[in-house]
Structure 1
Amino acid sequence: MSDLGHFLSEKRKEQGKSIKDVSKATLISKAAIEAIESGDFDSLPSYVHCYGFVKKYAEYLGYTYDDVKSLFESECKKEDFQVQEAQESEVDYSSADSKRKFPVFAAVFLLLIIGGILAYVFVPSGTLDKEVKQIESKGELTTGNTTSGNETELKKNKALPEDNISQEKTEGGKEQALKTDKKSSGLENATESDGKAKDNEITPYEITQELNKEKKVVEKKYDVSLDFSDTCWVHVNIDNEKQLDFIAEGGLIKTISFSDFFIIDIGNAAAITISHNGDIYRNLGGWREPVKNLRFTMDNGTLKYSKIEN
């Protein structure tokens, strides 16, 4: 049995208090109290939990952390938790992988066999031959089309001189026709420009869409300061989007940001001060008294809270 656990256990018994009494007053679980008294700190989640629980347990019995500091530091070391976390993170998956390889391979092999049997039973024997012939005929058609297209292009490129002369005459006639028909061409240009203007015209719907894009609502955030004068556990629900759980020590100042609301549960209601731009709330409950479901919101720039009844 550890010296620290023996000390706390003896003082608890001298005061006529049971482990259940300690758990109810400090909100420390019975299992954690039993672990502390037996010196089994490795079973607790982290070094911070060990420190917070021992400090709270000692204060409940009427002692300070300084009274048990030397015993605690000699039996519970931060390095032990760091080594334990490092060992837990190093997991060898090679044996697990080797066990999985054979079943996966066997399953794939069985699926292939079953698929072949089903194909043999249900697919008619002549179906595959028909599909192959259709693919071959499509290939021949494609080749033939390509060849005929190339021949057509070659014929076009082999234009005779007479064709070139007639083409030049035709182009000259077109130029003359364009010069003599300036009025008609002007009308055509105007018609084309009007068509382009209509195509580029912005509709009322598009204007509304652009205005809506510019009117994006920027969600406002409010910063609130949590100032702790003593150790206590805290749970915060921020806008039903973020949850915070931590053990605060005396002197800690923590800032949280919210848009709509935040709900806070406190293990030591007298140890916390909540403030925002001159709005200050303290003494939310008695010393070492837990308070839950305090809902804080902003009302016309003022931080306000109310108690949510279960």
Structure 2
Amino acid sequence: MAGNDFRPGRRKKNKKGATKGSGGKNRRSLAGKGPTPKAEDRPYHAAYKRKVERERRNSGRHTREKNNELVVGRNPVIECLHAKVPATQLYVVQGTGHDDRLSEAVTLAHSRSIPVSEIPRQEMDRMTGNGLHQGIGLDMPPFRYTEVHDLIAQAADTPGPGMVVLLDNITDPRNLGAVIRSVAAFGGDGVVIPERRSASVTAVAWRTSAGTAARLPVARATNLTRTVKEFQQNGYQVVGLDSGGTATLDTYSAAETPVLIVVGSEGKGISRLVRENCDVIMSIPMAEWVESLNASVAAGVVLSEFARQRRVN
């Protein structure tokens, strides 16, 4: 009814747009407030309380680089310290019973200026994933490998022809460590290993090498066939060790020629493509009833003979 338009308390219909003289108040009320914060960032949320508690617990923890290796056990730690592994921290569990081995480990660490930290047992359990650490752990950074071309260049700068060992299908780090030790002992220039499906220089290899891994270049190759050809292009004679070779150790001479010695595993031997690119396949004379030699032993025998040839030449 027309008369109802003037009844008391009636609300007038507003025109479109902001009310005149409002200062844009209605416009600001329509503006967005941004994205909703994550649950762990909202102080009233349970996830926020869990985050605070987690940060509180972690504040006292010892952090380690993800790629570092933690060697545990009293004898392994002492062996690594004697081998002068480039360790960054020695951890000792609080309340661990002291004996001669623990005292020796701490003394060796102090003599090499390696920091020693006492940590709670549950912290060491967390770092190792189990409780089989005997209350001690040695933190060591990843091994620094050399590039193949740098290894060749370094060998060229040393007196006498180069002598390098290339390992193919060697997955036992103890074999790798033993080969590194033999190469160093007989005047070799370095070791080459594949990037994949191969043993790497871990704490086990360090201990087996008796510290020589700190002084001898170890290079990683992405493709062994290309690596063999690279050595050949730099004047190396590539000698593959395998039974039934066309040459034998007592007839082959490496006195004057740079040589790359290719050693395969005791089971698989040398890969087919690598074998096809070797200049010579050489066998080691031995008793007929002995089927084969361990890879590191075979490498040591050949290195010893080649070193003898070069001394008498």
TM-score normalized by structure 2? 0.21
- Looking at both structures, which has the greater relative contact order when contacts are Cα pairs under 8 Å and sequence separation is at least 6? 2
Which one has a larger percent helix, Structure 1 or Structure 2? 1
Structure index of larger Rg = 1
